[in-house]
Amino acid sequence: MNKNPSFAGSFYPERAEELTNLLNSYMQEQKVAYKSKAIIVPHAGVYYSGYAAMAGFQKLEMNENIFIIAPSHHESFNNIALPEYSYFDTPLGSLEVNNKLIQDISSRFPCLISDDVFNVEHSIEVQLPFIQHLFFPKTQSALDFVKGLKKIGKKIKIVPILVGKCDYRLISDIISTYWENSSFVISSDLSHFYNQQECRQIDTYTATIIETGKLENFQPQQACGLIGIMGLVDFANNNDCSLVRAMIYNSGDINRETDRVVGYGSWFLHTDSKNDFIEQHYSKYILDTVRKTIFASLQGEEYIPRDIPTVLTQYGATFVTLKINGNLRGCIGSIYPTKPLILDLIDNAKNAAFQDNRFEPLSASEFNSIEVSVSILSSIERIIFKDERDLLNKIYPYGIILAERDTRAVYLPIVWEQLPEKNIFLNSLKEKAGLPANYFSRTLQAYKFETTIISD
């Protein structure tokens, strides 16, 4: 049995040609050819959320099964709901449901089997045209056709799941169980019906939680598909993955009505840390930004970066180190992420060149001789210790922050190359904080972090 489209003509165009043209208008050139097995995308009317949705879907990896995990807006039930439908239709054609996999899920997890809860639910349906458009295009270039030959024989099926009242760990468990041959679409808008300024504040906070994996900070009003989001974040935390931002904005940015807006965001799962993703794909951009920032400052100007990669708009903390002939010429950075990484990088580039009080400000004649290194910090984690011996056992090979009341000092992990002995490293860090080398007290605090280094 086929499920007929319920929202064609309202949430998205009813005519196939118009829908195809609209989806084409949202597609962007992919400068980084990374494909992910899991994405978070919005499900509002495509006219509003289409740019963010496409930014996520263009990162989605093709697999035998595409799970679409979405909230139920109209029906109340416990745990999850699965359909009996064999196909879901849109103006672009039919997508087959993997009914065999549906049965397997129902045998493993608590669920409701019902077509009724899907009939008036848009959060699944609006995702289907994106899948059809990207994986089953009606028209394509000769080059795309040749690239697609390797997909011959592969048949994509969808697994629609509506989420009711349940623990987010149920979603995490489903993702883990079917990870091998599947991709996952988490369907969710962000905040609803705040004014635009409040929306941006709330959605920025939500984005930070998604990107740092701090599940305990989520609140229900942050997103309508929050359980699905939390399930994917939990999966990422358990598998040393990270969620990288693809795009974020709100309805006011589209229709200019700013009183009651809805937020839209998209993310993709990276099977390593966000900082490793930046190193792999944007090292040249980061080093160029540092050099162009310093050069502009030497000319009495401000450098304004162009075409900023979205991942660099996520909050981040950096250290910028400058050397000449291998000798330190300036090093200043941030310990905590208090601003978008790109802005933190620009500020620390200027500070390392002109505000490190150990050196005279960098001169124009020195510019061509500088060697640039950027350290991007991981999140900060407190070290719990009983005494100094316990602390010494826990500090290697991390960057360490030592804090005692109003004083604080930090060493990057690279300092271990100069101070490889733990006790010498710790004593030197104490002295940097203005404390005696043999100092210890119950109020002393220590924090650890790691760095991803990008250098010339």
Same structural domain, 230 and 338: no
Element containing residue 207 per DSSP (H, E): helix 196-212
Q: How far is CA 96 from CA 99, 161, 221, in A?
A: 9, 14, 33
Same structural domain, 423 and 371: no
**CA 96 to CA 89: how far, in whole Å?**
9
Domain end point (choices 352, 375, 398): 375
Long-range contacts: 412-418, Cβ < 8 Å, 24+? 412/319, 412/375, 412/451, 413/450, 413/451, 414/375, 414/451, 414/453
**CA 202 to CA 269: how far, in whole Å?**
22
Find the CATH number of the domain harbouring 88.
Answer: 3.40.830.10
Burial, 365: exposed, middle or buried (Cβ in 10 Å; 0-12, 13-18, 19+)? Answer: exposed
Same structural domain, 147 and 238: yes
Same structural domain, 321 and 287: yes
Same structural domain, 197 and 316: no
Burial, 236: exposed, middle or buried (Cβ in 10 Å; 0-12, 13-18, 19+)? Answer: buried
Same structural domain, 304 and 451: no
Q: What three-state secondary structure class fits 201?
A: helix
Q: What is the DSSP letter of 384?
A: P
Residue 432 identity (one-letter amino acid):
K
> Can you give the pLDDT of all 456 residues of the chain as single tens digits?
999 999 999 999 999 999 999 999 999 998 888 999 999 999 999 999 999 999 999 999 999 999 999 999 999 999 999 999 999 999 999 999 999 999 999 999 999 999 999 999 999 999 999 999 999 865 444 444 445 544 444 589 999 999 999 999 999 999 999 999 999 999 999 999 999 999 999 999 999 999 999 999 999 889 999 999 999 999 999 999 999 999 999 999 999 999 999 999 999 999 999 999 999 999 999 999 999 999 999 999 999 999 999 999 999 999 999 999 999 999 999 999 999 999 999 999 999 999 999 999 999 999 999 999 999 999 999 999 999 999 999 999 999 999 998 899 999 999 999 999 999 999 999 999 999 999 999 999 999 999 999 998
Same structural domain, 220 and 336: no
Same structural domain, 121 and 250: yes
Domain end point (choices 272, 305, 327): 272
**CA 98 to CA 243: how far, in whole Å?**
27
Domain end point (choices 375, 404, 431): 375
Tally Cβ neighbours within 10 Å of residue 228.
29
Find the CATH number of the domain harbouring 345.
Answer: 3.30.700.20
**CA 75 to CA 118: how far, in whole Å?**
9
Same structural domain, 95 and 151: yes
- 80-82 and 111-113: which strand pairing? parallel
Burial, 390: exposed, middle or buried (Cβ in 10 Å; 0-12, 13-18, 19+)? Answer: exposed
Q: What's the domain range around 354?
A: 276-375
Same structural domain, 326 and 434: no
- Residue written as token pair 């693809």: 246
Find the CATH number of the domain harbouring 419.
Answer: 3.30.1490.150
Element containing residue 157 per DSSP (H, E): strand 157-163
Nearest C-alpha neighbor of 295 from the set 238, 222, 370, 235: 370
Same structural domain, 191 and 242: yes
**How many folded domains does the chain comprise?**
3
Q: Cβ(199)–Cβ(258) under 8 Å? A: no
Same structural domain, 72 and 211: yes
For the chain, the first-to-last Cα distance in angstroms comes to 60
| 236: β partners | none
Nearest C-alpha neighbor of 337 from the set 202, 203, 211: 211
Tally Cβ neighbours within 10 Å of residue 259.
9
Note if the pTM is more than 0.85. yes
